[in-house]
Amino acid sequence: MERHNLLHEFPEYQEKIHQLKVSDHHFRKLFDEYHELEHRIHNINTGEEVVIDEFAHELKAKLLHLKDGIYQYLNK
């Protein structure tokens, strides 16, 4: 399964992501939450963690919501 970390998702913002991670507490919180959720979804997709389908869909929806919020943050 392919990973979907933020640097993979937004390669054009690599430098800005790094700058915001070290200088903006709110962005760092969003980044960490995205990273943890992406890791959990990867574990579900590879069978390392088993959950019911509805919960997996909720996690994926939350990840997309976070990704959208981070993208808006990067475009400020």
pLDDT surpasses 70 at 2: no
Question: What is residue 7's predicted lDDT score, i.e. its pLDDT?
Answer: 87
Q: How would you write 12-71 as a 3-class SS string?
A: HHHHHHHHHHHHCHHHHHHHHHHHHHHHHHHHHHCCCCCCCHHHHHHHHHHHHHHHHHHH
Question: What is residue 4's predicted lDDT score, i.e. its pLDDT?
Answer: 78
Dump pLDDT digits (tens) for 13-57. Answer: 999 999 999 999 999 999 999 999 999 999 999 999 999 999 999
Is residue 16 exposed (0-12), middle (13-18) or buried (19+ Cβ within 10 Å)? Answer: middle
Domain positions in the chain are: 45-76
pLDDT surpasses 70 at 62: yes
Tokens encoding 14: 């690599």
Tokens encoding 40: 């959990």
Question: What is residue 3's predicted lDDT score, i.e. its pLDDT?
Answer: 77
